[in-house]
Amino acid sequence: MSLVEITAQSHGVLLDLVYGGDNNFTGRSVYRRPACYLHADAERLLGRAVDLVAARGLKLKIFDAFRPSEAQWILWNHRPDPEFLADPRGGSPHSRGVAVDLTLTDFSGRELEMGTGFDAFTAFSHHGNSCVSAQAQGNRTLLLGLMRSAGWDFYRLEWWHYQLFDSHRYPVLGDSALPEGMM
């Protein structure tokens, strides 16, 4: 299993790994050592997305990517909500290294308006929600179009979540899959 580390320098993205601090829905740090990894197949598609986004004068900001199965259990135990969190017994695309949570920013790093923040577990987070502003709808559509053009699938309930189309063919991985653990 090949996990590739994603850094601002190596991939031209911004990182705000929210589970590495206490500003997330659990109210505490989930990762002891926050880091961003993707399976090599997903990393290739991320590279395509970065190029497509940069051509529009924008950047990607990543909130989460590979999530060790131990972390998925922490999130699930805090909020067992199958609409917004994958049940760890079945495995999450994040725990397979083939999902990424992200948004668009301008080149200075200012996030584009998306109508909700990351991990807003409400119907306002759904793709196509017409109750968010027209600007947010347009920005979500732009993100969706760029990510789909790069080869990513999306999750209809979370504007920020993208994954490989065949995510379940990849094995669920724990912290021991990393060269240096995150947990």
| Residues taking part in catalysis | 158
SS3 167: helix
Neighbours of 126 (CB within 10 A): 19
Amino acid letter, residue 67: R
Buried b (16+ CB within 10 A) or exposed e, 35-70: bbbbbebbbebbbebbebbeeeebbbbbbbbbbbbb
Distance from C-alpha of 34 to C-alpha of 182, rounded to nearest angstrom: 6
SS3 132: coil
SS3 140: helix
The single-letter DSSP state of residue 33 is S
